[in-house]
Structure 1
């Protein structure tokens, strides 16, 4: 409304219909430009309405606003207010002690239509607005705390959505489920080896030969030629599949450069992909040297056989280095015997302070070997990861983070040759500082130049004067004991004859702390050790 309002009502006890001025509403608002004009009186009339709560008749004042909508048709009256149908115009007001309610024309018309003719007012029929759409009740989900779930976040409501479901659809889904091939992998991505399973549409699996981080090695047969092979089945994990591509590239290079296998590296026959597993097929060989040592109760090899092993290993690794390739994971597990057949001999073992004891020992018929597992092989020009090599055969420069190259393979070979001689690993540890302390027990103190580099790279391992900080206060008693029990190299390899003296000298040069002073594998092939004659008892 754009004009001021003057409210009138019949005072209690009055019998006339004259209306006296009322005080305006207390709500304040800005005054418009027409509020003080003479035409500010508003037309209104009084109507009767049924109270929806009590059922009584009450009076309401209807304001005739100036909307373009035509006013409702009302029975003619000369007065702006007319007697109510019950003859008491102020009965409801007196009874309640309050002013008549204010309604708009649309509300009054709707109320009159509800009276169904109980009063004489004729009003236009107003269609009520459509009812508001009510939200469907959604079944409440159980409280998450009932199932032991976290109550930090409210449990999400599940929408009640009708999903089409017929017996035909269910049967079709069931048939698809039954037709789906069963999983061939375990939870770690290893291929589940089953006897007589066919891989590559050609090879029938016979048995599992071994398992490692990379995957599994199985024995298989080619029915067309009845030839037995070894298949390395890589885990169905992206990083291992990617590493296998590097190994395949190296194997192809080795076979291409050495087709007659003079340098004793494993030869690739073929590769294929079977159910998301990369399969590498190679010749079938005997057991690895570590397994042979284990079956032989970790008794050492004869010195003559150690000399043959050393000659072949140096030839294999020198061949790799000539191709600018570093193996990085040399260990007895990665050296396979071509034929692991052996004879058993009975000997008398003597130990200081003990009585001689009869023992049995296996002696190999054939010392021919093959170097395997090129999954970690790295070209010198390509990226070098921070840590390589298995712990017991890891070079000191790798432990100290000084970088590594071809000399790390030479160090691993030195550890392997000592293990052939004693039957047990030279450095049996799993801690870096303890490992370095054992190295100093075997080889003496680190050279000053090398220790200075190590202290700059790993200061936590050194103390003042670039000396190895061993033992630290928190070192266990067992660790101290293990380091003290480590023997000096010349006590491990006693220089009792020419063969041992040359062998000791070769191992010492292979285990040198400083990689720049360590003997190269190519030079080691010309060492006097390989020209020394082995005694009959060796």
Structure 2
């Protein structure tokens, strides 16, 4: 996960599960065969803010290291990784003879992302370099498997980022993507967390749900949808003057609203109900928190949280603790249904459910926690504060996506037929 300005909880349990059948590994100076790791690619900053199948990998020739002979095409001297298993590099040197490192454009728990020049295709690419630690290598191999599956079923992958190449280099799984633009989170941050226009929210929501529907049709659950994992394809934007007519504090708007979803290292098969913890905290569904098991509907809850965040500029549930999180849900969406509370695993939820109801505010850890919950508006009021038209349709869509009961929550295909999403497409 990327380290953002407001912290987001990183789920670890996903990294501990066994990898499924792995694709064949191609090696680059690898001391041992590998499994792999997960990640997330974050685009460059807004401005020209910072595009994501496999190709053949050529092994290095010893002549690349002979003094005076093709030195510019060789790899750098072997270096030890840092204490956390991150690859150590210098700008301008090679990542295999094919790729020249231009700059670092992202870093997170999984490793780092470098902007590189592809000498073979003569274009700039983004390469995710995974830490040389088993659980991250395992998750990366899961991501490669999912990316290749998505690519096999649709050339454009319905809004899913496409893998171009991957290789194992000095015990680091490296995944090559086309260069994309900034993430939705980075765009919001550069806009000082000001909301997106409702028409832009509509178009992003439509594309995001098309991607989710495509994955669910393939029986795949993303499990980690969030603004950091949704990237604009283009880095270009225009600036709109503020209310005073000045450009300095004006709002940025993307020239193109086309997006792609990234980070498939936590993707799971939806053919069964799972019980381990998934999703970054702010986008985690109630059935995950309550230990009720989860499947496809957890992705739709995340989509609802994302669309609400794009409308307001701030995360819907800014918390890092289960009881406070559930209390925030009740404040924004109304009481949790009795039948879900009764079904909650008593061992899992005993700290925040008492006598069939949420143990709030009695169980609050502090007065500040109670205040943080009380300051939240109802969902309807939140939307109407920021949306000047289509508010009713958007509220209705969000209520369907944020339904507490996963069996009654909208599916991606149902959401795509909602009136809010069937209007005219976004035009800048």
User: Is the contact between residue 200 and residue 272 of structure 1 (CA under 8 Å) also seen in structure 2?
Assistant: no
Distance 1:312 1:288 in 2: 14
- Alignment RMSD, CA only? 2.3
Distance 2:228 2:311 in 1: 16
Query: Which position in structure 1 is the counterpart of 2:207?
Result: 312
* Matching of residue 190 in structure 1 with residue 86 in structure 2: yes
- Distance change (3 Å), C-alpha of 1:472 and 1:347: same
Query: Which position in structure 2 is the counterpart of 1:209?
Result: 105
- 1:146-199 per-residue CA deviation (whole Å, 9 max, x = no partner) reads xxxxxxxxxxxxxxxxxxxxxxxxxxxxxxxxxx95424111001123212212
* Structure 1: runs of 5 or more not aligned: 1-179, 350-357
Distance 2:316 2:383 in 1: 12
- Distance change (3 Å), C-alpha of 1:231 and 1:485: same
User: Is the contact between residue 202 and residue 426 of structure 2 (CA under 8 Å) also seen in structure 1?
Assistant: no
Runs of 4+ in structure 1 deviating by more than 3 angstroms, as ranges, are 381-385, 495-498, 532-536
User: Is the contact between residue 190 and residue 216 of structure 1 (CA under 8 Å) also seen in structure 2?
Assistant: yes
Distance 2:425 2:121 in 1: 43
- Distance change (3 Å), C-alpha of 1:530 and 1:212: same
User: Is the contact between residue 324 and residue 364 of structure 2 (CA under 8 Å) also seen in structure 1?
Assistant: no
Query: Which position in structure 2 is the counterpart of 1:431?
Result: 321
* Matching of residue 363 in structure 1 with residue 219 in structure 2: no
* Deviation at residue 521 of structure 1 after TM alignment: 1.0
Distance 2:80 2:154 in 1: 36
- 1:271-306 per-residue CA deviation (whole Å, 9 max, x = no partner) reads 111111011111111111101111110111111111
Query: Which position in structure 1 is the counterpart of 2:298?
Result: 408
Paired residues for 1:260-299 under 5 Å: 260-261=156-157, 263-299=158-194
Distance 1:340 1:459 in 2: 47
Instruction: Point out the structure with max Rg over C-alpha.
Output: 1
- Scaled by the length of structure 1, the TM-score of the pair is 0.62
User: Which structure has more RCO (C-alpha within 8 Å, separation ≥ 6)?
Assistant: 2
* Structure 2: runs of 5 or more not aligned: 1-75
SS of the aligned residue for 1:188 comes to coil
* Matching of residue 331 in structure 1 with residue 235 in structure 2: no
- Distance change (3 Å), C-alpha of 1:383 and 1:185: farther
Query: Which position in structure 2 is the counterpart of 1:461?
Result: 352
* Matching of residue 200 in structure 1 with residue 91 in structure 2: no
Query: Which position in structure 2 is the counterpart of 1:397?
Result: 287
- Distance change (3 Å), C-alpha of 1:387 and 1:304: same
- Distance change (3 Å), C-alpha of 1:474 and 1:305: closer
How many residues matched?
Answer: 349
* Deviation at residue 360 of structure 1 after TM alignment: 1.4
Paired residues for 1:10-49 under 5 Å: none
- Scaled by the length of structure 2, the TM-score of the pair is 0.77
User: Is the contact between residue 498 and residue 532 of structure 1 (CA under 8 Å) also seen in structure 2?
Assistant: no
- Distance change (3 Å), C-alpha of 1:242 and 1:473: closer
Distance 1:507 1:329 in 2: 18
* Deviation at residue 329 of structure 1 after TM alignment: 0.2
